[in-house]
Structure 1
């Protein structure tokens, strides 16, 4: 019996980075739903797109990662999140959430193996 792949909603505005991440995550056994920014990710979620983990950049046009996390967790308080950023907040993860649900903060550039581990960890498989 094959395990059902984790579905990752990925919000990343840098197209090349998004393509590389998506390819690597698919190769690692994940299903990836890619969104070019936070607003697009929010639209996907609000139209019923199912996903297990949010993978988001922090700095994006239209809706940044911090706002995206807050909006999605308003409806899904336990949503697992992995944040990837070149500009980590000074307060680390405590600035991004209240600590009630799993959240990993990774600083770019990110090794694929580290990202895969972080996604599995927040999703409870790791």
Structure 2
């Protein structure tokens, strides 16, 4: 039996980037829930909508990626996360990672194959 497609909650404030990423992820077989910022992503999560992986930008209005990760992992410490940013933190992913669950950090611009691999890797679906 084929496992259900991974559901990715994507928080990306750059609309064009979000559209391109969504299309590529859909083509790769994922289901994608899109949010224009961290606050909107948090609202989607609060409604009880199921998702397997968080894909988030770091710099966004209203609620940034770092805070989004912290708030979602407060309720789901095992939540796999892929962070995409043009401005990686000086300490790399260790600055974003508390060690409780898988986290990958990708620097923009991101190759779609690398992103797909990172999502599957954190979700343990390689």
TM range (shorter): over 0.9
Q: SS of the counterpart of 1:9?
A: strand
User: CA separation in 1, counterparts of 2:16 and 2:80?
Assistant: 25
Structure 1: 4+ residue segments shifted above 2 A: none
Give yes or no for the alignment of 1:105 onto 2:102: no
Number of aligned residue pairs: give it.
126
Give the aligned CA root-mean-square deviation in angstroms: 0.7
Aligned to 1:75: 75
The structural deviation recorded for 1:94 is 1.0
Aligned to 1:38: 38
| Matches of 2:91 and 2:100, distance apart in 1 | 16
**What TM-score does the superposition give when structure 1 sets the normalisation length?**
0.98
Partner of 1:5: 5
Residues 1:27 and 2:34 are matched in the alignment: no
Q: Can you give the 5+ residue segments of structure 2 that lack an aligned partner in the other structure?
A: none
* CA offset digits 1:28-50 (Å, max 9, x no partner): 00000000000000000001111
Q: TM-score when scaled to structure 2?
A: 0.98
* Residue of structure 2 in register with 1:114 after alignment: 114
Q: Which runs of 5+ in 1 are unaligned?
A: none
Q: How does 1:77-92 map to 2 (within 5 A)?
A: 77-92=77-92
How far 1:3 sits from its partner (Å)?
2.8
Deviation at 1:5, TM superposition (A): 0.3
C-alpha distance in structure 1 between counterparts of 2:69 and 2:37, whole Å: 12
